[in-house]
Amino acid sequence: MALLGLLEREPSHGYDLKRDYDAYFGRGKPLPFGQVYATLGRLARDGKVLVGETEPGAGPDRKRYVITKQGVSEVETWLREPVEPEPHLQTVLFVKVVLALMSGRSAEGYLDLQRAAHLQRMRELTALKRTGGMVDALLADHGLFHLEADLRWIELTAARLDALADMVRA
């Protein structure tokens, strides 16, 4: 869907789409060319893009792709749909705390180590924000707020450990 959205701006070659995808959304995981052309082929098959004439010149990437009305409609529908909020109701953090308490190990020690790991990752993302551009900052913020939510849970759980221990050992 990201490629289709990028294509809505203007007719583009596969190379241009890959370059812009990598710049905005790749973040260290560049899109393989093969995946770009496989996706464009599928979109063409489904009537969401049209493949232009092969342009004269050297190089493999001489086709220009154009989004269709059906493609634009699909992008519009997708943008209007909220992403399902992830409930995270059964996280590994929770499982570790409960199992530590059940086995008489130190859940507090685990939470302390997890807090340190979270804060270390937050430092890395903060450094990325301070040295990178706006796209880096926005993506880093997303990660930072999620890590902060985890940390709030860690603090609250640490405060509730005695009560939780009584419950799981009952």
Partner 1 sequence: MNAETVRAHPDAPGALIEARDVGLSFGPTPALRGASVAVQAGEILAVMGPSGSGKSTLLHCLAGILTPDTGEILLAGRRLDTMRENARSALRRDRFGFVFQFGQLVGELSAVENVALPLLLSGTPRAEALARARSWFDRLDLDGTQTRRCGELSGGQAQRVALARALVARPEVLFADEPTGALDSLTGEHVMNLLVSCAREQGTTVILVTHEPRVAAYADREIIVRDGTVTSFAAAPLLP
Is residue 118 within the footprint of partner 1 (CB under 8 A)?
yes
The minimum distance between CB 93 and partner 1, in angstroms, equals 13
Is residue 146 within the footprint of partner 1 (CB under 8 A)?
no
- Between 9 and 88, CB nearer to partner 1: 88
Strands 63-67 and 12-13: antiparallel
Give me the DSSP letters along 83-114.
PPPP--TT-HHHHHHHHHHHTT--HHHHHHHH
CB of 27 within 8 A of CB of 139?
yes
Is residue 155 within the footprint of partner 1 (CB under 8 A)?
yes
Is residue 97 within the footprint of partner 1 (CB under 8 A)?
no
Q: Tokens 């937050």 — which residue?
A: 122
Q: Rule CB under 8 A: which of 60-79 touch partner 1?
A: none
Lookup: tokens for 41: 């082929």
Is residue 99 within the footprint of partner 1 (CB under 8 A)?
no
Which DSSP symbol is given to 57? S
In this chain, which of 2, 44, 147, 161 binds partner 1, going by CB under 8 A? 147
Give dist(CA 159, CA 155) in Å, integer: 6
The minimum distance between CB 133 and partner 1, in angstroms, equals 14
Binding site for partner 1 (CB under 8 A): 112-113, 115-120, 122-123, 125-126, 130, 144-145, 147-148, 151, 155, 159
